[in-house]
Amino acid sequence: MAIKNTTDPDAAKSQKAAEAAKQHEYDLLQDPDALAERLTSGSEDFVKKHKNTLLGVFVAIALVIAGSFAYYGFKKSQEEEAQIALYPAVYDFEADSLNKALNGDARYKGLNYIAEEYSGTKAGNLAKFYAGVVYLKQGKFQEAIDKLEDFSSDDLILQARAYSLIGDANMELNKPAEASEMYMKAANYKANEFFAPQYLMKAGMAYEAAKNYKEAADAYNKIISTYATATEVNDAKKYKARAEMLASN
C-alpha cells in the first residue's frame, strides 16, 4: 500500500523562500561590495525589502564611529592630564627630592601614582622609568628592576638606558650573569657609536665578574673592531688581553 505524501507543497515553498531570504541578507552583511552595489543600484524595492537590515548596519557603523571618537577624546584627555601631573614629579626628581618625586605630597601626585593611574599614556610610561631610577638611587634594587622592566619605549636613548640600569641593579644584587645579559641588550638596542661602547664595557666587566672570560673578551673585542674611534678602545684592548689570559687558564 503506497504511503500518501502529506507535505503541503505551498508550506515547503514558503519555508524555502524564507531560508533563501535570510541567506541573502546574511550574504549582503558579509560582503560589503555586494551591499554597496545594491544600495547604489537605485532599486527602491531593495531598500523597502531590506530596510530593517540596512537600518541595523547603519546604526552599527554610527556606533563604531562614535565610539572611536569618544575613545580618542578620552585618550587625549588622559595624556594631557598625565603630562600635567608628571611635570612637578620630574621637577622634584631633578631637585633630588626623591621621596617626594616618588610618592608626591598634599599638592602633587608622585611617580608611582602617575605610572599606575595613567598606565596607558606616554607620560605614565615615562613615570615608570623615573620611578625605577629613584629606586636605584635609594638602593631598592629589586623595585628598580620591576619598574624598569615595566617601562617600554622605542626611543634610542631611553630604552637602552633602561636595560643598562637593570644591569646596574643586578650587579648590586650580585647577579653578574643577569647584568651582563642586560648590558648586551642595551648595547645591541639600535646600536650606535655614542652609547654602545659604554654598554659593551659594562657587559665585559659583568662577564668577568661571572667568570665568563670568553664572553668578556668578545665584548671587549666588539668595541675594538666595531667602534674603533671610541674612547673606550684603549681600555678595551687591555681588558681583552686580561680576559683572554684568564680564559686560557
Per-residue pLDDT, 69:
42
Q: Kind and range of the H or E element at 166?
A: helix 158-172
Q: Do residues 132 and 140 lie in contact, with contact meaning Cβ atoms separated by under 8 Å?
A: no
Per-residue pLDDT, 3:
47
156 is written with which cell numbers?
634610542
Give residues with Cβ within 8 angstroms of 16, minimum separation 6.
none
Report which of 67, 39, 68 is spatially closest to residue 53, judged by C-alpha positions.
39
184 is written with which cell numbers?
648586551
Residue 153 confidence class, pLDDT cut points 50, 70, 90: very high
Residue 34 confidence class, pLDDT cut points 50, 70, 90: low
CA distances from 196 to 6, 41, 201 (A): 86, 63, 9
Reported pTM: 0.71
Q: What is the pLDDT of residues 161-182, one digit of tens each?
A: 999 999 999 999 999 999 999 9
Higher-pLDDT residue of 26 and 96 is 96
Residue whose grid cell is 657587559: 203
Could you give the CA distance from residue 248 to residue 202 in angstroms, rounded to a whole number? 22
Higher-pLDDT residue of 26 and 102 is 102
Per-residue pLDDT, 146:
98
Q: What is the pLDDT of residues 176-207, one digit of tens each?
A: 999 999 999 999 999 999 999 999 999 999 99
Per-residue pLDDT, 78:
79
Report which of 137, 147, 140, 215 is spatially closest to residue 176, judged by C-alpha positions.
215
Domain spanning 153-249, CATH class: mainly alpha
Mean residue pLDDT of the chain comes to: 83
Q: Helix or strand or coil: residue 52?
A: helix
Q: Is the pLDDT reported for residue 36 higher than 60?
A: no
